[in-house]
Structure 1
Amino acid sequence: MIEFRFDVGDLATTSFAYSPLQEAAFSLRSLSDPGRYPHHRPWLRRIGPRLDALDRELLTALVAPWLWVPDFLTPRPDRARPVFADELDRVRETPPEVVAADLRAAYRTEDALPPVVARGLARPDRLLVRLTDALDAYWHTCLAPDWWPRAQSVLEADLAYRGRVLAERGAAELLPGLDGRLSWTGSHLRVDTRDFLGQVPWADISVAGRGMVLLPTLFARGAQFLIDPARPPVLIYPARGRATLAEQPPPVSDQALVRLLGRARTRLLLLLAEPASTTELAHRLEVTPGAVSQHLAILHDVGLLTRTRHGRTVRYVRSPLGDDLCR
């Protein structure tokens, strides 16, 4: 059992974010143990041939057998929606001694280090350059083109849902609702560690005015945290709706809804049970964003969709009228 102790005011500085760099680093777990991540099998099949052109030896070595990832690869985001390139630049500035210490902490013993890491630690500064270059290539080859738009939509939907829970029910229901491992006692957030693959060597962490960041991820089966308890508190939890990544677009039928709206708009309306952006919908349907945008505008104008803006991104979701029509 781990306890995060909240002082007066700590809840006021608790916030949500998501991190493309974290998702890239955690996604390496699925390369090592794909059976634990069934939602990502379609994506893994697609990227299989692309991995041969990457530094796969080093990428897979960044995940310990108990699925720990070195802390320096997942720095706490400095804003709610950071950009991958900016986060990777932060990693490039990691002191060599921190790179070495974090890799050893993730593997726990020197003997457990993979050969590529053990050799690299002779010059951790050079290892860091190789590592960040490998992650950059992996991101642009396997994640950014088609996986990230869908993943980002799931993460955005999770943040929107958590915001509603906080507004309507308060933090006492929000925090334990993030995952079954979590419980809230009034000033302590407890994490049940009985099903962790690796033994956790500490049990008590004080938030102590440092603020806690809550990060949804698509590559965890339960709540988890950074390896080093001395770093600013971060709690990582499984994103709501992550199973939708394995879904294919719904089939088009000849039923009444298709006759009413047409095939393209029916498919969009069926997909939008959860919020999604124009870009993500275009990827899923393998059409142009412009074509999707025209249909979305019509569905919105007749009241079947609602939309919200997050920065430059607009996300659509079915309205209550749209839900009724789909039923």
Structure 2
Amino acid sequence: MRFAVSPLWEVVTSFRRLLNDGAVSPVYRPWAAQVRPRLAAAGLDRGWLCELIPSSKYVPHFLNPAPAGPAPVLATELAELVAAPPETVRRNLDHLRYHQDSLGPRARALYADPAARLPRLAQEIEAYWKLALAPYWARIRTVLEADVFHRARQAAEQGAGQVINELHSAVRWDEDVLSLVRRTRPLTREMAGRGLLLVPSAFLGPGLLTRMTPPDPPQIAYPARGVGSLWASRPPTAKAEAVAAVLGRSRTLLLTELDAPASTTELARRTGLSAAGVSQNLTALRDAGLVSAHRAGRSVLYARTAVAETLLGADTR
């Protein structure tokens, strides 16, 4: 049994979350309110992902290749996606058609020529990532890695069976048998592939997603701990005063305002600093590794890095 933090799993689950919640549940509302206008402006609310990621039921397995390591980068996973065997893509699309009765025009084009269309899909996923996840990734990754650390310690202290039994109510481990609620088809060790891969997700909500594609190990994506406070606004901490003594009040103010990613113009409006001053300070903070920059259409969004989160003493448990 091993764990992996997977960018592609977060692409699938976050896009599905946007489709699934008409009004979006309160936990995800701050994130969705920022992301949806960007996706609409870029046309990503009506592209490849809309046809391949339904709001419920089956998601094509080729979208989530088994992560090779504990924390692959998006580019590595996209390379695996683009290299998916054509027969696998077509088999997955046949299954998608079975669940929703038909395929959209892009999905049909992908079925006809997977090798030619998969790079186009990868480009759209990368565009979605830049708009919807990259500006928030430092915070998301912190929560996912904290979940993995907690469960790895639990496995060391209480055994792998206890980890599985506390993972989700739909998963049970009893007398060397792994049981998944509502899975009607039996899966033997020989059929399942080697081992078990557990993938925490910040966007999954209360359910589970599974991927069973031998010879890859079975993957179970489950809701990570601490997601409930992930998108909540955090008040400035007492530590910010100490940080201001080192960085200066303007730069510390910008860091605290970056509780959610924002552009230079937005930060200038909210802080009262000049646009030129904001730009100069953001450049310094970026050079110091405290903020990251992500292009969203014509704007550039700035976000706090994990280093800045730690520096400000934000509670990411």
**TM superposition score normalised by structure 1:** 0.69
Provide the C-alpha distance between the structure 2 equivalents of 1:181 and 1:289, rounded to a whole number of angstroms: 47
1:105 equivalenced with 2:95 (yes/no): yes
1:181 equivalenced with 2:170 (yes/no): yes
Provide the C-alpha distance between the structure 2 equivalents of 1:290 and 1:163, rounded to a whole number of angstroms: 37
Partner of 2:113: 123
Letter in 2 for 1:88: L
CA contact (8 A) 1:172 1:186 kept: no
State the 1:250 CA deviation: 2.3
| 1:26-71 C-alpha deviation (Å, 9 max, x unpaired) | 2110221125654222111112222121443222111124243211
Letter in 2 for 1:30: R
Partner of 2:49: 59
Partner of 1:219: 203
Taking a change above 3 Å as real, the CA distance of residues 71 and 235 of structure 1, as seen in their structure-2 partners, is: same
- Secondary structure (helix, strand or coil) at the match of 2:81 reads helix
Provide the C-alpha distance between the structure 1 equivalents of 2:38 and 2:260, rounded to a whole number of angstroms: 22
Residue segments in structure 1 that go unaligned for 5+ positions in a row: 1-13, 194-199, 253-257, 267-279, 297-311
**Runs of at least 4 residues of structure 1 off by over 6 A?**
285-292, 312-315
Provide the C-alpha distance between the structure 2 equivalents of 1:32 and 1:191, rounded to a whole number of angstroms: 25
Provide the C-alpha distance between the structure 1 equivalents of 2:257 and 2:69, rounded to a whole number of angstroms: 27
Alignment of 1:189-228 (within 5 A): 189-193=178-182, 200=183, 202-206=185-189, 210-220=194-204, 221-226=206-211, 228=213
Partner of 2:33: 45
- Secondary structure (helix, strand or coil) at the match of 2:69 reads coil
Alignment of 1:65-84 (within 5 A): 65-84=55-74
- Secondary structure (helix, strand or coil) at the match of 2:172 reads strand
Provide the C-alpha distance between the structure 1 equivalents of 2:184 and 2:5, rounded to a whole number of angstroms: 27
Taking a change above 3 Å as real, the CA distance of residues 99 and 110 of structure 1, as seen in their structure-2 partners, is: same
Partner of 1:284: 259
Match among 145, 158, 178 for residue 147 of structure 2: 158
How many equivalent residue pairs?
A: 265
Taking a change above 3 Å as real, the CA distance of residues 170 and 232 of structure 1, as seen in their structure-2 partners, is: closer
State the 1:181 CA deviation: 1.2
Letter in 2 for 1:177: E
1:27 equivalenced with 2:17 (yes/no): no
State the 1:152 CA deviation: 0.5
Taking a change above 3 Å as real, the CA distance of residues 163 and 289 of structure 1, as seen in their structure-2 partners, is: farther
Partner of 2:249: none
| 1:234-263 C-alpha deviation (Å, 9 max, x unpaired) | 1221111111222101266xxxxx5xx665
Letter in 2 for 1:223: L
Partner of 1:276: none
Partner of 2:85: 95
Provide the C-alpha distance between the structure 2 equivalents of 1:76 and 1:226, rounded to a whole number of angstroms: 9
Partner of 2:125: 135
CA contact (8 A) 2:48 2:106 kept: yes
Provide the C-alpha distance between the structure 1 equivalents of 2:115 and 2:70, rounded to a whole number of angstroms: 29
Letter in 2 for 1:20: P
| 1:154-189 C-alpha deviation (Å, 9 max, x unpaired) | 101101111121122222311111111122212012
Letter in 1 for 2:29: R
CA contact (8 A) 2:243 2:312 kept: no
Letter in 2 for 1:104: D
| 1:290-319 C-alpha deviation (Å, 9 max, x unpaired) | 879x9x9xxxxxxxxxxxxxxx98985999
State the 1:84 CA deviation: 0.6
CA contact (8 A) 2:243 2:311 kept: no
Taking a change above 3 Å as real, the CA distance of residues 316 and 174 of structure 1, as seen in their structure-2 partners, is: farther
- Secondary structure (helix, strand or coil) at the match of 2:70 reads coil
Aligned-pair Cα RMSD in Å: 3.6
Letter in 1 for 2:82: R
CA contact (8 A) 2:61 2:211 kept: yes
Letter in 2 for 1:243: G
Taking a change above 3 Å as real, the CA distance of residues 114 and 75 of structure 1, as seen in their structure-2 partners, is: same
State the 1:201 CA deviation: 5.4
Match among 230, 233, 242 for residue 245 of structure 1: 230
Match among 236, 245, 259 for residue 221 of structure 2: 236
Residue segments in structure 2 that go unaligned for 5+ positions in a row: 245-254, 262-280, 291-305
